[in-house]
Chain A
Amino acid sequence: MDTSNFSELWKGQKAEQPAAADLLIKINKFKKRNRLRIVLTNLTLIITSVLMILIWYFYQPELVTTKIGIVLVILAMGIFVYSLNQSLGALKDTNAASSNQEYLKNLLTIKEKQHYMQTTMLNLYFILLSLGIALYMIEPVSQMSFVWAVFAYGMTALWLLFNWFYIRPRQMKNQQAKLNEMITTVENIQSQLKQD
C-alpha cells in the first residue's frame, strides 16, 4: 500500500459537527457548574465557621480550651476546603498549550504534589479536628456528672479512633491507588518521548 494513500484514507473519516451555538451552550453550562462547585465548597466552610462563632458569641465559653477548640475545628475545616479547592484548581490547565513533552512533565509534577498534599492534608485535618473537639468538650463535660463525662469522652474517642484507623486509611488508600496508577501511566508515555 502506498503510504500517501494513508492520508487520503485518514481524511475519509468524517464526523458530525455540532453547531457552534450548541457548543457555546455547553461551555456556559460547564462554566456554571464549575462556579457552583466552588461556591458550594466554600459555603460549607463559611457556614461551619459562622456556626462556631455563633456558639462562641451566644454560649460565652469561659474556659480558654473551648475557644482553642473552636479555632482548631475551624482551622481543620479551612484546611479541608483549601485542599479540595486545590485539587479542583489543578484540573484547570494553565499549560494546556505547551508541547506534549512539557505537558506530561507538568502533569507528573502536579500528580506528585497531589500525592503529597493528600496525605499531609488529610492527616492534618484529622489531627486538628480531633484535638479541637477534645478541647472544646472540656467545658460542657466539666458540668456533667462523672459517669456522663466518661461516657461523652468515651463515645467521642471511639468515633475519632474509628475515623483515624478506619476511615482515614481507607480514603487514603483509594486516592493513592488512583494516583499511583496515573503516575505510572504518565511515566510510561514519557518514556516514549525519549529521543532514540
Chain B
Amino acid sequence: MKFEDIYQEYWQKIFRLCMGYVNDYALAQDLAQETFIIVWQQLPNFRNEANISTWVFRIASNNCLRQIEKQKRFQKVEMPQQLMEENTESIEPKIQFLYKCISELNEIDRIIISLELENIKQSEIATIVGLSEANIRVKIHRIKEKLTQKFKENGHK
C-alpha cells in the first residue's frame, strides 16, 4: 500500500476523529498531520494481514490519547476571541454543536463515537479500542442517548 493512497483516502476521516477529540480546528490539523507522520514511519512495519483501516485508526486514536502530554502547552496559547469566531462562523451550527458535545465526552467515548459516526463496524471499533464488541455496543448506545439529550436541550431538532 502506498503512503499517498492512504493519505488521500484517510485524511478527512482522521481529521474528523481528531476534531471530535479536541474540537479545535488548528489543533486537529496538527494532530492529523502527526498521525500521518507516524503512519509514514510505521508503514514498513505494517503487515498485510491486518486491516489497513484498523491500523490507521489505531495510530490516530493513540496519537489523540497521547495529546495529554502536550495539552498543557497548547492550553496556554489561547486564540483571541475574535479570531475564533471568524474561524467557526462558516460551519453549520449543528455540525459545530455536534463536535462540541463530542469533545466534552470522556476520552475513550470520544474515540468510540467518532469511529461509529464514521460508519466503522462495531467489531472493528472493538479491535481498535481493545474492548469487547458487546461493551462497545453498550457504550455507543449510551453515548448516542447522551448526544440526543443534549441536542434536545439545545433546541436542535
Q: Which residues of A contact B (CB under 8 A)?
A: 1, 3, 6-7, 9-18, 20, 23-24, 26-27, 30, 93, 96-104, 107, 182, 185-186, 189, 192-193, 195-196
Contact = CB atoms under 8 A, between A and B. Distances in A.
B104 interface: no
Interface of B: 3-4, 7-8, 11-12, 15-16, 19-20, 25, 28-29, 32-33, 36-38, 40, 42, 45-46, 50, 55, 58-59, 61-63, 65-66, 68-69, 91-92, 94-95, 98-99, 106-109, 111, 114, 116-119, 127-132, 135, 138, 144, 147-148, 151-152, 156-157
Contact of B4 (A20, A93, A182): A20
Grouping DSSP codes into helix (H, G, I), strand (E, B) and loop, the A interface class, with mixed when no group exceeds half, is helix
Contacts of A97: 42, 45-46, 50, 55, 58-59, 62
B71 to A, nearest CB: 9
A93 B69 CA distance: 14
Grouping DSSP codes into helix (H, G, I), strand (E, B) and loop, the B interface class, with mixed when no group exceeds half, is helix
B127 A13 contact: no
Contact of B156 (A1, A7, A12): A1
A193 B131 contact: yes
A26 B39 CA distance: 13
A9 B95 contact: yes
B65 A23 contact: no
21 contacts: A3-B147, A7-B116, A9-B94, A10-B117, A11-B16, A18-B33, A23-B7, A23-B36, A23-B37, A93-B62, A96-B38, A97-B42, A97-B46, A97-B62, A99-B128, A100-B61, A100-B62, A101-B129, A107-B65, A107-B66, A193-B131
